[in-house]
Amino acid sequence: MPTVFRVLFVCMGNICRSPTAEGVFRHMVRDAGLQDRIRTDSAGTHDYHVGSPPDERSAHHASLRGYDLTDLRARQVQELDFERFDLICAMDWENLRLLEEDCPPQHRHKLKRLMEFAPEGLADVVADPYYGGDRGFETVLDHVEAACVGLLQHIRCKPNLQEG
């Protein structure tokens, strides 16, 4: 039985950046034929939008690039997530800090910023587009796509995923 690698994407409310990252990464994983080896989810550090679909602007801009977010629903990070997931990718420094506050010490090595996997020279964070215009949602997609390519490469290098 192949090992399954689990990735959780985290932003504040889980309606813009983290569901976009989940949708983009899920698409890349499927295109790579690794959907049985890599699982993805998203969550928010706050409970503002639990049960809500992604922001309409996020879903619209994602769909223009071929990503489907329609089945996603917001949820808040839970204590069990720190154990269940192999990698937890925060969208920015503030959400990383909040995750670090709640994360048990034995799981802190799993916490990263998504942009750590992006090519050098891009932003350090995936900026929150919520209060901005269309350009912000396009920038989120640009950054998420670049980082997810690196993230997939990083995960593919894991010895357990090379088997089979």
Active site residue ranges:
11, 17, 128
d(CA 28, CA 35): 9
Paired tokens of 118:
């992006």
Could you give the CA distance from residue 82 to residue 110 in angstroms, rounded to a whole number? 8
Helix (H, G, I), strand (E, B) or coil at 8: strand
Residue type, 29: V
